[in-house]
Structure 1
């Protein structure tokens, strides 16, 4: 498994983000349930969000991101960064 940081930057007003928030959270829950997402939350200040994910490849993560209602509605831009941790907390997943 490879690790990824998915960095969302909002392109729309927060009223548009809030309108889609429940659907976005359902998307997150679905991918937590299957073990793809490890952590997520809004940036401070609230101009986007961060998702920590694991997957077989960057392409696999890109396919997941395409399912996000924020992406489908065009209200957020996405940056995906793959990384290889050299140190982690005990029990934290590491890249294979």
Structure 2
């Protein structure tokens, strides 16, 4: 599993200008079966995505995020070897 942590490099106003294409990118990540959960950080300094899949594919996909392309946010990708989950969350062990 991967934790994709986004940190805004630009203002929230600038992030809002690119939010629609970013959210289309997020929806596509879900459609591919890679994204499991996502949301904004509180306070709003970026966001986070829980993802599964091949690291190289995830890294390439992150590079195609409109937030990355337009310099709105940078990603920190952390790989987590999940060994224990609550019932129903076994998919996180992939």
Name the counterpart of 1:53: 51
Q: List gaps (5 residues or longer) in structure 2.
A: none
CA contact (8 A) 2:7 2:46 kept: yes
Whether 1:87 aligns to 2:80 is: no
CA contact (8 A) 2:83 2:93 kept: no
Distance of 1:91 and 1:53 partners within structure 2? 16
Q: What is the CA deviation profile of residues 49-87 of structure 1, one whole-angstrom value per residue up to 9, with x for unaligned ones?
A: 00000012x212101101110001011011000011111
What is the TM-score with the length of structure 2 in the denominator?
0.93
Q: List gaps (5 residues or longer) in structure 1.
A: none
Inter-CA distance 12–80: structure 2 relative to 1 (3 Å threshold): same
Inter-CA distance 23–62: structure 2 relative to 1 (3 Å threshold): same
Distance of 1:95 and 1:8 partners within structure 2? 22
Runs of 4+ with >4 A deviation: none
User: After the TM superposition, which residues 21-40 of structure 1 pair with which residues of structure 2 at under 5 Å, given as runs?
Assistant: 21-40=19-38
Q: What is the CA deviation profile of residues 20-45 of structure 1, one whole-angstrom value per residue up to 9, with x for unaligned ones?
A: 11111100001101100000000000
Tell me the matched-pair count: 93
Name the counterpart of 2:71: 74
Name the counterpart of 1:17: 15
How far 1:95 moved relative to its partner?
A: 3.2
